[in-house]
Structure 1
Amino acid sequence: MRSIRTSAPVGRGRRTVLGAVGVVASLALTATACGGSEEDKADDKPDATASQAADGDGDGGKVTIPSDIADKLKEHGIDVDTWKDGGWEDWDKDKWLREAEDFVNPVIEGLWKPERMRSAEEADKTVTVKDARAAQGVSDPEPAPVRAAAEKTPYHDNAAPVGKVFFDSPDGPAVCSGTVIKDVNHPGRSNLVWTAGHCVHAGGNGGWYRNLAFVPAYNDLGKSEAELSNASPAEMAPYGNWWADWASTSNGWIQGGSSSGGDGAAYDYAVLHVKPEQGSKSLEETVGAALDVDFSAPSAAQAGRMGAWGYPAAPPYNGLQMFKCLDAPGRFSLGSGLPTMYRIGCSMTGGSSGGGWFRVLNGETVLVSNTSIGPTDNTWLAGPQLGEDAEALYQNMSKTYGGQ
């Protein structure tokens, strides 16, 4: 259901606390053990420390097209105004940009309105039975199904770094999930979002997607579809829309990614650098939360329990509410020659793609993977191990674009 390239530069037992995040708003990311009874869940949530938010520099909040993006469009014979007026809808396969340096994503203010967000369909990467059995000698036994639990509202108090990633593909508006992560080179002022590679690039069958935007704490109060029939932008996007001015994903996904994950699934991760459609503060300052990324790539046996967060959009879910699962990971691989991934039991469906997987490391909640692929019966999710290559991608994004 979910699914890379280095650019140039998706529990049983008791409810377990994954740890506190050192950010504003007394945030703590908690995971509900799916499969245990309501009576078998503890209610512990530690306090988080506060961080300072400073006013950012800007030009009065007015969004402008960076000159480098405008120049890149011109190199391909595309006028910026024409692009913003709908030229981006031209998906001529012979002209579909494929190279990392050809990622272009100028802000189209007002494009992602509440009704358009609700129309976006999940970016699904579904593993076939044949693929799932391809490496039975490498993979651990399939985990027991785990039913996803709804996150408590308001989301900004319980899972502030989590949000939705919207984008346009040749098939129309699409949606994934993502997580605000810290920027080691720009502490306290991060504009970085972690998601799946297949949420930014089509893999071996195409190029970069368009109109990529991140909406943290989407539908913050978890309102129903009926309640949101006339929703205002503030209800759907309490922190506004954040447009990606650059995206990085791995060569493994861009070269090997496919509709079922393919050889690229083990490299299915991406980092976005975003800017606000309106405003001047950084994403981390605005949301008041961000997570460190764990690039130690612990084995499934060493990793301990993991929690997966996201906005599942395929039935029986509708993409409006945030859900989570907690489970002890096992090993999963799509081939004996491919890297091992993590796999947990979880009923979340497409739309949860790209959502962060968290664990506790030295008493702190950190991002350790993201939802990549799952089976047609939605009983489990698999995500990549994040090692040296993923860290290099992250560092390049931080150093090259983090200060912008």
Structure 2
Amino acid sequence: MRSTRTPAAPRRGRRTVLAATGLVAALALTATACAGSADSASDKPDATTSQAADGGGKVRIPAELAGKLEEHGIDADRWKDGGWKDWDKDKWLSDAKDFVNPVIEGLWKPDRMQSAKEADKTVTTKDASAGQGVSDPDPAPVRAQAEKTPYHRNAAPVGKVFFDSPDGPAVCSGTVVKDVNHPGKSNLVWTAGHCVHAGGDGGWYRNITFVPAYNDYGKSEAELTNANPAEIAPYGNWWADWASTSNQWIKGGSETGGEGAAYDYAVLHVKPERGGKSLEETVGAALDVDFSAPSAAEARKMGAWGYPAAPPYNGLKMFKCVDVPGRFSLSPSLPTMHRIGCTMTGGSSGGGWFRVRDGKSVLVSNTSIGPADNSWLAGPQLGRDAEALYQNMSKTYGGR
């Protein structure tokens, strides 16, 4: 049976912002209500779904995407009939220009979202020689804290990135960011490169979709059995109609980070599964991106948000860690990355890191790699290369 979804409506009279609490920069995602605003039935998102078989639903392939598939010897009609599940490595679209992600209405229904496995954050061993002379001492583990619910009040810009890999449905985390060339109407999402592209040995993942404030009330697996779809995806599903990641990740990224780890970031341009306003207008918030690559002394503290899915977590709830950042590098020849203590596991990959700048919090990195014992996280410093990628995405696709 075909599945349908009505896009979530923005909550009227409410804006969600990322703010700092106190001079020590203990980061918190908070919502500020406008005068006279209160939760009511009319403030809640409207979303409906019906069940459909895996891969069912209507597939919309624009002519330009169908043409791109044909260029690589892929039949667009077969793709519609489930051919997207065929991961022929000889035809795996890998180059930056090859991204194809046609909408499949109803594919990411609630039970399929729950079945998605963590895309293991790229793991590095605690090799004493790794980054010798470049990395700071290992930070003490910081136990991840559960974000307050409902997420639409406390962390609306944060959500989950769902996608299909050769191993099946997978999940990462992401953040709604501002589009400087289209103020107030951003459709941009920041995540990790390895959440959209397999790196040097693979290509683009498929059916990439962003769900902001996933599982809004932090319900358990049992509670979600009969949950209102609007509680699972309060702002609906947002399909990536374009994705950009760094050439360094595409060429050198690997399961252990590799030479692409310091460039493990990506920007998605998304659109609602069915109609609606921009992502920023719908969610009511988007975050600025800080491309100044601040030092640890400048940043003072950083906070990472995400949906860890590997044990002891299950991917259903949002967590955060706040710590004083240090430096980390896989090799003296590679740029240093930011690193904080944090016990979040796979599934938190791509989740935004925030720091305070000029009195407000901004996105400064994203979760990329961590050790096998899940005691810390590292993320790329966002400098000129990251800003160029972001600007190109904004100028080329932002107005669509």
Give me the TM-score of the superposition, normalised by structure 2. Answer: 0.86
User: Could you tell me how far apart the structure 1 residues matched to 2:218 and 2:381 are?
Assistant: 31
Please state how far the C-alpha of 1:357 moved relative to its aligned partner: 0.2
| Aligned partner letter, 1:193 | V
Corresponding position of 1:126: 123
Please state how far the C-alpha of 1:136 moved relative to its aligned partner: 2.6
Deviations 1:328-375 (A, max 9, x none): 100001001110000000000000000000111111211000000001
Change over 3 Å in CA distance of 1:93–1:286 after alignment to 2: same
| Aligned partner letter, 2:110 | P
**1:66 maps to which of 62, 66, 86:** 62
Q: Secondary structure at the match of 1:293?
A: coil
1:227-376 superposed matches below 5 A: 227-376=223-372
Please state how far the C-alpha of 1:45 moved relative to its aligned partner: 5.8
Deviations 1:70-109 (A, max 9, x none): 2212222334342122100110112111111111000001
Please state how far the C-alpha of 1:43 moved relative to its aligned partner: 9.6
Contact 1:31 1:307 survives alignment (8 Å): no
Gaps spanning 5+ residues in structure 1: where? 1-22, 34-40, 51-61
User: Could you tell me how far apart the structure 1 residues matched to 2:192 and 2:336 are?
Assistant: 17
Please state how far the C-alpha of 1:49 moved relative to its aligned partner: 7.7
Corresponding position of 1:403: 399
| Aligned partner letter, 1:137 | G
Q: Secondary structure at the match of 1:147?
A: coil
Q: Secondary structure at the match of 2:135?
A: coil
Contact 1:114 1:232 survives alignment (8 Å): no
Q: Secondary structure at the match of 1:137?
A: coil
Sequence identity of aligned pairs in percent? 79
Change over 3 Å in CA distance of 1:49–1:334 after alignment to 2: farther
1:129-278 superposed matches below 5 A: 129-130=126-127, 133-278=129-274
**1:394 maps to which of 377, 390, 395:** 390
User: Could you tell me how far apart the structure 1 residues matched to 2:302 and 2:360 are?
Assistant: 13
Corresponding position of 1:14: none
Please state how far the C-alpha of 1:263 moved relative to its aligned partner: 1.1
Corresponding position of 1:114: 110
Deviations 1:224-251 (A, max 9, x none): 1110123343221111110001100001
User: Could you tell me how far apart the structure 1 residues matched to 2:28 and 2:83 are?
Assistant: 51
Contact 1:151 1:158 survives alignment (8 Å): yes
Q: Once structures 1 and 2 are overlaid, which stretch shifts more, 318-327 or 253-262?
A: 253-262
Matched pairs, number? 363
Change over 3 Å in CA distance of 1:46–1:312 after alignment to 2: closer
Corresponding position of 1:11: none
User: Could you tell me how far apart the structure 1 residues matched to 2:28 and 2:336 are?
Assistant: 34
**1:27 maps to which of 16, 19, 22:** 16
Please state how far the C-alpha of 1:64 moved relative to its aligned partner: 4.7
User: Could you tell me how far apart the structure 2 residues matched to 1:141 and 1:113 are?
Assistant: 43
Corresponding position of 1:13: none
| Aligned partner letter, 1:284 | E
Please state how far the C-alpha of 1:299 moved relative to its aligned partner: 1.2
Please state how far the C-alpha of 1:144 moved relative to its aligned partner: 0.7
Please state how far the C-alpha of 1:135 moved relative to its aligned partner: 1.3
Change over 3 Å in CA distance of 1:75–1:129 after alignment to 2: same
State the structure with bigger RCO (CA 8 A, min sep 6), 1 or 2.
1
Contact 1:180 1:192 survives alignment (8 Å): yes
Change over 3 Å in CA distance of 1:185–1:315 after alignment to 2: same
| Aligned partner letter, 1:320 | L
